[in-house]
Structure 1
């Protein structure tokens, strides 16, 4: 009897193994022989991760996007990888709000990433899409069409927003979700300023939450995007002793007269005067000044980032790609990718009160041990590629990281979409008494 039981057990095990091998649902070699190549073309020890986010991009007339970069490329011919114009080299500070361009370009790219699968790929069938990208260059529109808000050309910016909303409202996919699975870049604080409250349910790509009302933008649904840095990246930062070679303790160069929280800059100018190892200079953006700022950051241990018109600015990301440890003065700044990156590993933070106490900030920075600074410098070198906007796109560059952030927001958008269909009292949870 025991012999028959053993033979029966072996027979059933044989059938079970044959079933899995035939249907291909289990790769036993990956369990028994971890170093043996998997039949699926990947080593079993590698974590492949989720498939790319499937993004449908609307085909908008070029006047909504690249037509603003090159008036000769206007018209209604859809943009593709072959006729995509390069970002203008003479765009100056407009480049810092060009996130919209690089996100669009990443979806148009038809090549293969040799570093692994990208976070998002374009699909041409909207029914198969996880998210929808709206390629309206709202920041470029503001900068191009009457950016001083009083120019007659401002009406062009307004009309583009009106036309875009009319287009989206006709889309059954916009109607289906109320726009909640639609991604709209609004990087400049004045982008989409006329009708932004009509797209507040969408996943917005913003630079700073400080300029948006709470009922329009929040961290639960929107993505904080870095500014596009305007200084050149420090590619050959291989000094034997970087701490000693960076002779300036603290560096700042930029406008010192700003509004709102930016008034701290003028106050800091008075507090930081008289230190031989502190460079605090007022200047306007120009090719020459940007070059000087780049050289200054590369020769400084710490780079000061006080608020401007908004809590964040391009200066922070210039410092990161210059491997200059950011000193962030803010009480309410929000930072990109913070669910993945710990900024305290490569930045130092001061409140307004601490920064404006005479002598306090400089004293604290001088007491930072060389070993701690070196670790922060090394961390900057390791993560600075997350702040590179480039074409062709690369794995885990700035745009790839942004698409990953969009992926993180989609479950919440889907939850809201489903709940709103059946709720009799809209948003009862937010209106409940405490």
Structure 2
């Protein structure tokens, strides 16, 4: 006769239950670690607590899982478009481009740092790819949109507008209109009708504000669509519209920790600078009113006090090491407008600890208000474009009058700006995390959305 076994007591079962629970949690953590950065849909709600307080409260961001036609397909088919073809090589390493390696004569390490690991051939128009990769590692992501304070739209708007350069307006506007319809149908949209949504582009703002429907007119009309008029756009240069904000152009430096940033700041502060000022750029005779010709003339006439790197004839302008060498050798770096008021060169020169000299207020003062001191005299020199055009000012005589004490003070201020204008590696986390250009932008977007919510209430 077989006896039935009596049920096990809770004490006997409890160890097995605890083991199973811990095992499941462990497996969940492993899966999260493996797949979190792969797709936006696998975001989890990250609750960082200190003393029982949710430190992510008010900072949660939800990422829309857009169909691939709005982002991945645009760069996967990069080679198919003539206007994008020469950009494809820069898409590696999360949009940072190929890593800069040491040369045979240690020239690279002498100009950059003792370690070349943080340095890349980064193209100035890669920001939307870089930002999306950074966003995947943001510390307060959530897959619960009801918890989110802001919604990120990972649309590659710059790649979209660039692929149909010169085509008819119907083609140029097609994908943007498609995205507007897609967003409008999402439940997250109805929360604030897009006022909590933001996206990033690596192009200037005017590329997305075409005024007419004439094929001869510039760009597309993305930012004139009703849906996008509600959203916040972050771009490398804006039109001073209420929903556009300028963020720094990407530089070549992408450190992974605060230690690397401080090491670079220290190296910059100890530079012996041979030139009073420098100009890296090309003359633009085709641009009416351009002062570049006069700036070049004055630089060449300075008898060795100015270094001119002619980007119209020299290939060195495409070499990060050559560029950084000129900026590191200069006390002041001239930053006249080009095709548009702003320049990537501004951020490369600040990275090198060189004091920028501006000739147009839209080149920096009216643009990067989240990043530069409000008092522009602390970190830069301003010379009126009109005074240069009319021959009323000698750049050399003006700069030579700046005292050593003032130069020292301005360079200190420039060095303080460096962490805020770089984009660190996406995996940058922990106590050595840097408040970089990305973090500043996200914090400001969250603050802007919070103000919207307050005004609605």
Q: Taking structure 1 as reference, are residues 332 and 89 closer, same or farther at Cα in structure 2, changes over 3 Å only? A: closer
> Secondary structure at 1:311's aligned position in 2?
coil
Unmatched segments (≥5 aa) in structure 1: 1-39, 43-47, 73-83, 110-117, 420-434
Q: How far apart are the structure 1 equivalents of 2:73 and 2:342?
A: 29
Alignment match of 1:254 (pick from 281, 289, 302): 281
> Secondary structure at 1:250's aligned position in 2?
strand
Aligned match of 1:301: 331
Alignment match of 1:67 (pick from 70, 73, 97): 73
CA RMSD of aligned residues (A): 3.7
1:349 aligns with 2:382: yes
Aligned match of 1:135: 154
Q: Taking structure 1 as reference, are residues 398 and 88 closer, same or farther at Cα in structure 2, changes over 3 Å only? A: closer
Aligned match of 2:310: 282
Alignment match of 1:331 (pick from 341, 347, 361): 361
Q: How far apart are the structure 2 equivalents of 1:285 and 1:184?
A: 37
Deviations 1:377-416 (A, max 9, x none): 2222232011111322443011001111212322343356
Aligned match of 2:427: 392
Q: Taking structure 1 as reference, are residues 388 and 241 closer, same or farther at Cα in structure 2, changes over 3 Å only? A: closer
Deviations 1:317-358 (A, max 9, x none): 011111111111113342324477344322222221344445
Map 1:6-405; keep pairs closer than 5 Å. Answer: 51=57, 53-71=59-77, 86-87=94-95, 89=97, 95-109=123-137, 121-143=140-162, 145-146=163-164, 149-151=165-167, 157-189=172-204, 191-192=207-208, 193-198=220-225, 199-209=228-238, 212=239, 217-218=241-242, 221-230=243-252, 236=264, 238=266, 242=270, 245-257=272-284, 263-276=290-303, 277-284=305-312, 288-291=316-319, 292-333=322-363, 334-338=366-370, 341-342=373-374, 343-356=376-389, 357-389=391-423, 390-393=425-428, 394-405=433-444
Q: Contact between 1:337 and 1:401, CA under 8 Å: does it hold in 2?
A: no
Q: How far apart are the structure 2 equivalents of 1:130 and 1:241?
A: 39
**TM score, norm. by length of structure 2:** 0.65
* Number of residue equivalences: 345
> Secondary structure at 1:400's aligned position in 2?
helix
Aligned match of 2:24: none
Q: Contact between 1:60 and 1:135, CA under 8 Å: does it hold in 2?
A: yes
> Secondary structure at 2:229's aligned position in 1?
coil
Post-superposition shift, 1:176? 3.8
> Secondary structure at 1:107's aligned position in 2?
helix
Q: How far apart are the structure 2 equivalents of 1:377 and 1:95?
A: 26
Post-superposition shift, 1:197? 0.4
Unmatched segments (≥5 aa) in structure 2: 1-48, 79-91, 100-119, 209-219, 256-260
> Secondary structure at 1:295's aligned position in 2?
helix
Q: How far apart are the structure 2 equivalents of 1:159 and 1:250?
A: 47
Q: Contact between 2:248 and 2:368, CA under 8 Å: does it hold in 1?
A: yes
Q: Contact between 2:56 and 2:140, CA under 8 Å: does it hold in 1?
A: no
**TM score, norm. by length of structure 1:** 0.68
Deviations 1:4-26 (A, max 9, x none): xxxxxxxxxxxxxxxxxxxxxxx
Q: How far apart are the structure 1 equivalents of 2:294 and 2:121?
A: 25
